[in-house]
Structures are given as structure tokens and as C-alpha cells.
């Protein structure tokens, strides 16, 4: 990080700590050339999140796809829409605050399963059973389409 006072690019990090409820990392920096001190904040930007498939293929993170798969798993379950929205936002926030822009698809699946398990067991089982195939298929679209038949319209 270039020193804002003298332009020296060889500055040192003296201290790093989580900030803003772990959404950012605050770094105190020191410039050995001029003695200047300054602070930087490091944040994950959602648009830059990249999903790393188990095959190693990279794909931009798509919140809509995530939301679709969760809504399908929760179809016809007695869970308030507001609760679902909160859960999805919570998952996205967790992904954003992981501190990495590259996120293995496996980690996303695990976070989703963890979150579903907390609000609805049936939805969790639906998701988890398809998730196994998903890992083999390594394709989110296929995952979503495979999830659908598990949610019979006449269920309940
Ligand atoms: Zn300097």
C-alpha cells in the first residue's frame, strides 16, 4: 500500500483487527520512509465473490441462484417469508465476511445446510439430499433443477 504522504510503496502493517462486526479488517500502517501512519479498511465486495467449484472451475457468485435453491427447499414449508429473507441475507453476509473473495462451493453448501437445519428440518433434508448429487454434478443449475422434483406440489 502506497504511503499517502510520501508515495513510498514499501509500507508496513503494524496492527490488523476485525472492524464493523467482522465485515471489515482495519489495518494500521506505518511508512518507514517518512514515519507517516495511516489506516486502511479491507472489505469483501459482493460483486467480486467468486465461487470455486470442486472441479476448480470459477463462477461469479449469484445471489439469485442461491435464493432460488433455498426457496425451492422451503417450498410449502411453514416458514414466514420474512424469516427466509433474513436467512438469505445472513448467508450472504457470512460469505462476505469470510475475508476471501474466492469461496469454495462446498463452503456455501455447508452454510446453507447449517442455516436450513436451524429453521426447518424438512427443508434441510431436501437440500442436503440434493446437495450430495450437486457435488457430483458440480453445476448449480442442475442442482436447482434436481431439487425441484423433491418438492411435490401436492405435498402436505
Ligand atoms: Zn511515507
The Cβ of residue 152 has, within 10 Å, a number of other Cβ atoms equal to: 10
Model pLDDT for residues 79-104, shown as the tens digit of each residue = 988 888 889 888 988 888 787 889 99
Between the CA of 33 and the centroid of ligand 1 the distance, in Å, is 5
Between the CA of 99 and the centroid of ligand 1 the distance, in Å, is 27
Higher per-residue confidence, 116 vs 97: 116
Instruction: Yes or no: say if 50 and 60 are a contact pair by the CB < 8 Å rule.
Output: yes
Model pLDDT for residues 20-29, shown as the tens digit of each residue = 777 778 999 9
Instruction: Yes or no: say if 27 and 11 are a contact pair by the CB < 8 Å rule.
Output: no
Please report the pLDDT score of residue 146 as a whole number. 61
Locate 156 and state its grid cell.
Answer: 402436505
Mean model confidence pLDDT for the chain: 82
Between the CA of 13 and the centroid of ligand 1 the distance, in Å, is 13
Closest by CA position to 138, among listed 102, 108, 93, 98? 108
Amino acid at each position: 500500500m502506497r504511503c499517502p504522504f510520501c508515495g513510498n510503496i514499501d509500507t508496513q502493517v503494524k496492527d490488523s483487527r476485525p472492524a464493523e462486526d467482522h465485515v471489515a479488517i482495519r489495518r494500521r500502517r506505518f511508512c518507514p520512509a517518512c514515519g507517516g501512519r495511516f489506516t486502511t479498511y479491507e472489505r469483501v465486495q459482493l460483486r467480486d465473490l467468486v465461487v470455486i467449484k470442486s472441479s476448480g472451475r470459477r463462477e461469479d457468485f449469484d445471489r439469485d441462484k442461491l435464493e432460488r435453491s433455498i426457496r425451492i427447499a422451503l417450498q410449502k414449508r411453514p416458514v414466514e417469508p420474512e424469516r427466509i429473507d433474513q436467512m438469505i441475507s445472513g448467508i450472504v453476509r457470512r460469505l462476505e465476511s469470510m475475508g476471501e473473495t474466492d469461496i469454495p462451493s462446498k463452503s456455501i453448501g455447508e452454510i446453507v445446510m447449517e442455516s436450513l437445519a436451524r429453521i426447518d428440518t424438512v427443508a434441510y433434508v431436501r437440500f442436503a439430499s440434493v446437495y450430495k448429487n450437486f457435488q457430483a454434478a458440480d453445476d448449480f443449475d442442475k442442482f436447482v433443477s434436481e431439487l425441484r422434483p423433491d418438492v411435490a406440489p401436492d405435498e402436505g
